[in-house]
Amino acid sequence: MSRTFLGLPRTLRRPDDVAAGPDEPFGAVPHPQAPLRWGDAFPEAARQTLKNGQLRRNLGHATQVIRAKRAAVVSEVPDWEALRDAGSALKERVMAELPELLAELEENVTARGGVVHWARDAAEANRIVAEIAKAKGADEVVKVKSMATQEIGLNEHLAAEGVAAIETDLAELIVQLADDMPSHILVPAIHRNRTEIRDIFLARMGDAPPDLSDVPRELAMAARAHLRRKFLSAKVAVSGANFGVASTGTLAVVESEGNGRMCLTLPETLVTVMGIEKLVPSFEDLEVFLQLLPRSSTGERMNPYTSLWTGVTPGDGPSEFHLILLDNGRTDVLADTVGRAALHCIRCSACLNVCPVYERVGGHAYGSVYPGPIGAILTPQLTASTGGVSGHHDVNAALPYASTLCGACYDVCPVKIDIPSILVDLRAREVDADRSRRGVDPWAAAMKAASWVMSDGGRFGLAGRVATLGHALGGRDGVIRVAPPPASAWTRSRDLPAPPSQTFRQWWAKEHGRPADEGDDE
């Protein structure tokens, strides 16, 4: 099985961030070694993805559809804002009581026959999963779509250990077959249209019908037949978790396709990798999140499948259950009073769908399995201890700047994460970390000079009067079409108006005739 992994005519490589070559017709992004830090810094990566017209059309269409669906089902909930407040308050409580709640979860999972493992980082979590799979003699595991296992690069680690990880979520399967990386938290193949998917299935699935068309139902049926064989043969399943209930030890997975239910119930052994922030205090709290999550993510009133399980039950489902509690930078994030709200995220991806930046550039430009606005605040924080948010030498340091601060993400966030404020805070941390650097940073020098000018009415008035000398630069039209750097970044795609012949405060002084209003110019 491992030799013809997923029907691919070769074993799964682990290229070190090499760009796709001509023999890689689908792999826009081969699997990077660091799932939270790959590729170029955001501005350059975005410049590349912006050139992909197909990607922009696919994304523009898909995000528009999901946005409209979400808006419709949210508007019909009369107490939506109260639900958001409740979700936010619950998550704040979880963060405040995290150590106690985690201990409670461990106690309850253990009492119900589960085994709890603690993983400090990706390497530890991967090793534990691989050990369990190998102990069961499995050379193949079926997987429920999970961000936590994406974040730790589990599939690549298992492949290196000779265990094939089969993604069973349709979109995740598309991404895996294409040897690509996900570009969205919820719809990882959002950058693909159905014609591309048909081509991927035909080339890589191995058992796809040769006359497969690009009709969505046919594509789904092909995947269904392909996956059904995997579900029936797998001995081990790996999942993430949407929620872990501390008071009962219950885990929850929320999904649409039923593939998750298959994975969670058919194999003998179930391994769940859960970020430590995914806790809720008690079972009743699920009520809040099970209302918030589907409407925010897929734009559905309720998701088709919600699986809940507590430890093991003889004769019903897996006979062995392992829960791996993953830190991987989360306790560092928790230590930051502003940034910790990023841990409230329930991975609904509503912020991606409304983000005007994400809509244009797509998920790959963020260089992390967490793209979009939430990725821009989560990724640099999760990787802080390994170089993130500590100066411009790290590609992740550009992520907090990958936003216009338009605020659309905050408006839709079901747990009210103030993403724009956290972005600004991370920018400040970035700038402060850079202060100790040697050499001249042009941005820092410009900001310092601007601060001096802009902190005094007299100095600012004088600067304005000097600027009016540039009025003639605009020529007859009053616009500047070409400017030297750094203004060239502006004039490459926009005209710049020439300064006026008279500033406002000059006009005011003249019209309102109070010389004192000129201030302490002299």
Partner 1 sequence: MRIALAATCIADTMFPGAPRATVRLLERLGHDVVFPPGQACCGQMHINTGYFAEAVPVVRNHVETFAPVADGEWDAVVIPSGSCTGSVRHQQAMVCRRAGLDDLAATAEAVAAKTYELSELLVDVLGLADVGAWFPHRVTYHPTCHSLRMLHVGDRPLRLLRAVEDIDLVELPDAESCCGFGGTFALKNADTSAAMLADKAGKVRATGAEVLTAGDMSCLMHIGGGLSRQRAGVRTLHLAEILASTREEPTTLPPARVRETEVAR
Residues 386-425 that bind partner 1 (CB under 8 A): 400-408, 410-411, 421, 424
Q: Which residues pair with 316 in a beta bridge?
A: 313
Report, in Å, the least distance between residue 496 CB and partner 1.
6
- 512: helix, strand or coil: helix
- Round to whole Å and give the CA distance between 416 and 232: 41
Q: Is 322 left (phi over 0), alpha (psi -120 to 50) or beta?
A: beta
- 309: helix, strand or coil: strand
Residue 399: phi and psi, rounded to 5, are -65, -40
User: Is residue 486 a contact residue for partner 1 (CB under 8 A)?
Assistant: yes
* CB-nearer residue toward partner 1: 100 or 520: 520
Window 13-52: residues binding partner 1 (CB under 8 A): 42-43, 46-47, 50
For partner 1, which residue of 239, 250, 269, 503 counts as binding (CB under 8 A)? Answer: 503
Question: Is 137 in contact with 252 (CB distance < 8 Å)?
Answer: no
Report, in Å, the least distance between residue 338 CB and partner 1.
10
- 82: helix, strand or coil: helix
* CB-nearer residue toward partner 1: 152 or 351: 351
Window 65-124: residues binding partner 1 (CB under 8 A): none
* CB-nearer residue toward partner 1: 171 or 422: 422
Report, in Å, the least distance between residue 354 CB and partner 1.
9
Nearest one of 64, 90, 72, 66 to 290, comparing CA atoms:
90
Q: Cite the beta strand spans of 161-249 per DSSP E.
A: 164-167, 236-239, 243-245
Q: Is 35 left (phi over 0), alpha (psi -120 to 50) or beta?
A: alpha
Question: Is 184 in contact with 363 (CB distance < 8 Å)?
Answer: yes
- Listed ranges 208-216, 255-263, 323-331, 512-520: which one lies at the site for partner 1 (CB under 8 A): 512-520
* CB-nearer residue toward partner 1: 73 or 463: 463
User: Is residue 472 a contact residue for partner 1 (CB under 8 A)?
Assistant: no
* CB-nearer residue toward partner 1: 18 or 68: 68
* CB-nearer residue toward partner 1: 314 or 436: 436
For partner 1, which residue of 3, 210, 217, 451 counts as binding (CB under 8 A)? Answer: 451
For partner 1, which residue of 8, 127, 464, 483 counts as binding (CB under 8 A)? Answer: 464
Window 339-358: residues binding partner 1 (CB under 8 A): 356-357
Question: Is 30 in contact with 179 (CB distance < 8 Å)?
Answer: yes
User: Is residue 317 a contact residue for partner 1 (CB under 8 A)?
Assistant: no
Report, in Å, the least distance between residue 80 CB and partner 1.
16
Single-letter amino acid code for the residue at 105: L
220: its two tokens: 């789904």
* CB-nearer residue toward partner 1: 218 or 456: 456
The conformation of residue 399, written as its DSSP 8-state character, comes to G
